Chains A and B, each alone.
Chain A
Amino acid sequence: MISKEELEYLAQISKINLNEIESRKFPKQLDKTIEYIDILEELASDDSVILDLQEMKIEELRDDVVRMSGGKQISKNITEDGFLRGPKMK
């Protein structure tokens, strides 16, 4: 059962505001989804190691060479000096 506080906490750490309709609908919907994935409990517990991951040799990795990118990556909200303007901290 996902409580109102838990939902608020999740919304807080995910930095998402829920509108009124969503605040009403979501607890039940999320509950159903969690109930649905609860079936995974039946699987044996062996949570020390994650299996079956892709591997790559160190020799295949990128060389330490500088390549300056030409494009304009950020065009939004730029000041005269080239800083990006963001919302205040406090």
Chain B
Amino acid sequence: MIGLEIHAQITALNSKLFCSCRGNYRELGPNTNICEICCGLPGSLPVINQKAIEYSAMTSLALGCKVPDKIMFYRKNYFYPDLPKNFQITQYNVYGYSSIGVDGIYELDDAKQIRISRIQLEEDPGRIAYSEGSMNVRNSVLLDYNRAGVALIEIVTEPDFTSPKEVRQFLNKLSLTLEYIGVCDTLLEGSVRCDVNVSMEGGNKVEIKNINSFREVEKAINYEITRQSSLYSRNLKIELETRHWDDRKKITFKSRSKEEEHDYRYFPEPDIPIIVLGNDFVSNLKKRMPELPNQRFECFVSKYKLSEHTSNILINDKKLADFFEATLKVHFSPTEIANFLITDFKSLIEDDSESTDYLKNLKVKPEHIAELVKLIEGNKISRITAKDILVKIFESGMLPSEVMNNTNSYKIADEKTLMDAVQSVFDKEKSAVEDAKTNSEAINFLLGKVMKFTNGRADPKIAMRIINNKLHNPDK
């Protein structure tokens, strides 16, 4: 049985959760993105960010949770150098009023349902960095509070997963959903963290912390399952404990962590009143919410009449799907455009897909694709030519028409030119011509040669007709 506890930063916010410092602290000099509130200076008070509640509520809705009409905050009290107030402002459901989301259901591809226990809004601590020198010799640490106070959404599932593969699928879908809502850019460094708990049949629950990317999660679970199975098979006890994932050595190890004293002494945060969301909050939010992956999928299949396979490929790459719909606005030909995008276009840009900004800086724009597809449909160029043109557009950003004028790419439909081309090929490939009289594969071979001869510009239909005519009427 496997359960997850995911922390995702609300990277969409401009400011932090309880103060107006910048929400994106990356690449700022240490301790330059701080104020009296996020440093916990004496006398400071938390001032909560309205948008953070909206984003976390959207996340709750997207994961099938109930959003209550009032929410409350609690203090989780513990000491640690990265925690400026030595307590964290978070949410807690044990005594009534609930967090921003509870009791959700999320469906995996095979219709398996994962129960979402709760979703809560809370603040991120600062960072502990280690000074130079080996760990043993260090006599101090370096603290940076730039990240302290950034808004986090915590998503906790019930231990409904039964394999690492399911977990991986869930995390992929979750990332996509978060991307669709716009809440969290999971590719940003440090924007998501995942804790996992793993237990075998009848065994103790082991919590694994410090997994810093979704990709590492599957590896950590696999390692832990192996470790627990091995203990189990040797009749050794699996301890109830917390372990750390070491992503260099790829192992989990027992940690003597801050989590040892577990009495967090939760009580309601006195500085933040109960926040009344109101009766219309959820319905208004649903109206304003960006389309979710499965909703978009439905739209592509029923409205644009794309195949499920094509739709899936587009949906799973939000930026590509956005590009697709932008192209549709210029020229409405869903099937053609979709097919072009998921084959030729996609293979061209494949290398860049890991960067967050991919597609933004691309020289190829929706207008280019639209024009290209229009030309294919109008039979002005062949598919092969289109691919070549695409490469040129990719490099130069020129419009297809410009490229074509420069390279003389228009399809040859002129009968006379084609007849000459066919004649040249026939003259050269005498044995194939003989074969072609009985073997249809040889005809295709000839066609291929004609295409090559014309640099891919021959109109295949017309060329084929001419070849067939010539085969059966050799003297014409």
With an 8 A cutoff between CB atoms, is B140 at the interface? Answer: yes
In the complex the two chains form, is A55's CB within 8 Å of B20's CB?
Answer: no
In the complex the two chains form, is B70's CB within 8 Å of A55's CB?
Answer: yes
In the complex the two chains form, is B141's CB within 8 Å of A85's CB?
Answer: yes
Q: Which residues of B contact A73 (CB under 8 A)?
A: 31, 34-36, 39, 41
Q: Mark A42-76, 1 if CB is under 8 A from B, else 0.
A: 00000111100111111101111111110101100
Q: Which residues of A contact B2 (CB under 8 A)?
A: none
Main secondary structure on B side of the interface with A = loop
- Bin chain B's interface residue count: 35 or more
Complexed CA–CA distance, A46 and B116 (Å): 29
With an 8 A cutoff between CB atoms, is A15 at the interface? Answer: yes
Complexed CA–CA distance, A89 and B129 (Å): 11
Complexed CA–CA distance, A49 and B79 (Å): 28
Q: B49 is contacted by which of A13, A49, A59, A62 (Cβ under 8 Å)? A: A62
Q: A69-B21, A73-B34 given as contacts; is B142 within 8 A of A88 (CB)? A: no
Q: Which residues of A contact B202 (CB under 8 A)?
A: none
In the complex the two chains form, is B47's CB within 8 Å of A62's CB?
Answer: yes
Which chain B residues in 1-59 approach chain A with CB under 8 Å?
13-15, 20-23, 29-36, 39, 41, 47-53
| Smallest CB gap from B135: residue in A | A90
State the interface size on chain A (CB cutoff 8 A): 38
| Smallest CB gap from A79: residue in B | B142
Q: Which residues of A contact B265 (CB under 8 A)?
A: 13
With an 8 A cutoff between CB atoms, is A78 at the interface? Answer: yes
Complexed CA–CA distance, A87 and B36 (Å): 22
In the complex the two chains form, is B20's CB within 8 Å of A53's CB?
Answer: no
Complexed CA–CA distance, A90 and B275 (Å): 41
In the complex the two chains form, is B41's CB within 8 Å of A84's CB?
Answer: no
In the complex the two chains form, is B14's CB within 8 Å of A83's CB?
Answer: no
Q: Which residues of A contact B138 (CB under 8 A)?
A: 88
Q: Which residues of B contact A79 (CB under 8 A)?
A: 142
Q: A58 is contacted by which of B20, B35, B268, B275 (Cβ under 8 Å)? A: B275
Q: Which residues of A contact B15 (CB under 8 A)?
A: 64-67
In the complex the two chains form, is A58's CB within 8 Å of B276's CB?
Answer: yes
Complexed CA–CA distance, A53 and B276 (Å): 12
In the complex the two chains form, is A86's CB within 8 Å of B31's CB?
Answer: no
In the complex the two chains form, is A61's CB within 8 Å of B50's CB?
Answer: yes
Q: Which residues of A contact B72 (CB under 8 A)?
A: 53
In the complex the two chains form, is A50's CB within 8 Å of B96's CB?
Answer: yes
With an 8 A cutoff between CB atoms, is A3 at the interface? Answer: no
Q: Which residues of A contact B128 (CB under 8 A)?
A: 86, 89
In the complex the two chains form, is A53's CB within 8 Å of B142's CB?
Answer: no
| Smallest CB gap from A90: residue in B | B135
With an 8 A cutoff between CB atoms, is B273 at the interface? Answer: yes
Q: Which residues of B contact A59 (CB under 8 A)?
A: 50
In the complex the two chains form, is B13's CB within 8 Å of A82's CB?
Answer: no
| Smallest CB gap from A64: residue in B | B51
In the complex the two chains form, is B140's CB within 8 Å of A82's CB?
Answer: no
| Smallest CB gap from A55: residue in B | B274
Which chain A residues in 2-46 approach chain B with CB under 8 Å?
12-13, 15
B20, B53, B139 interface centre (most CB from chain A within 10 Å): B20
In the complex the two chains form, is B273's CB within 8 Å of A62's CB?
Answer: no
Q: A49-B96, A66-B14, A90-B135 given as contacts; is B273 within 8 A of A58 (CB)? A: no
Q: Which residues of A contact B21 (CB under 8 A)?
A: 66, 68-69
Q: Which residues of A contact B140 (CB under 8 A)?
A: 85-88
In the complex the two chains form, is B96's CB within 8 Å of A83's CB?
Answer: no
Q: Which residues of A contact B20 (CB under 8 A)?
A: 62, 65-69
With an 8 A cutoff between CB atoms, is B371 at the interface? Answer: no
Q: B142 is contacted by which of A56, A65, A84 (Cβ under 8 Å)? A: A84
In the complex the two chains form, is B31's CB within 8 Å of A82's CB?
Answer: yes
Q: A63 is contacted by which of B35, B36, B50, B143 (Cβ under 8 Å)? A: B50
In the complex the two chains form, is B142's CB within 8 Å of A61's CB?
Answer: no
In the complex the two chains form, is B50's CB within 8 Å of A74's CB?
Answer: no
In the complex the two chains form, is A65's CB within 8 Å of B95's CB?
Answer: no
| Smallest CB gap from B50: residue in A | A61
Q: A61 is contacted by which of B30, B139, B275, B278 (Cβ under 8 Å)? A: B275
Complexed CA–CA distance, A54 and B143 (Å): 36
In the complex the two chains form, is A61's CB within 8 Å of B31's CB?
Answer: no
| Smallest CB gap from B29: residue in A | A82
With an 8 A cutoff between CB atoms, is B190 at the interface? Answer: no
Looking at the assembled complex, report how far the CB atom of B48 sits from the nearest CB atom of chain A, in whole angstroms: 6
Complexed CA–CA distance, A86 and B275 (Å): 36
With an 8 A cutoff between CB atoms, is B354 at the interface? Answer: no
With an 8 A cutoff between CB atoms, is B103 at the interface? Answer: no
| Smallest CB gap from B36: residue in A | A73
**13 residue pairs from A and B, CB less than 8 Å apart:** A50-B95, A55-B276, A56-B275, A58-B281, A62-B20, A68-B22, A71-B36, A73-B41, A81-B29, A82-B30, A84-B31, A84-B145, A86-B140
- What 5 pairs across the A-B complex have the smallest Cβ distances? A69-B35, A61-B50, A83-B142, A67-B20, A64-B51
- Residues of A at under 8 Å CB distance from B? 12-13, 15, 47-50, 53-59, 61-69, 71, 73-74, 78-79, 81-90
Q: A57-B275, A62-B49, A84-B142 are in contact. List 10 more A-B contacts (CB 8 A).
A: A47-B95, A48-B95, A53-B72, A58-B277, A61-B275, A66-B20, A68-B20, A68-B21, A84-B31, A86-B128
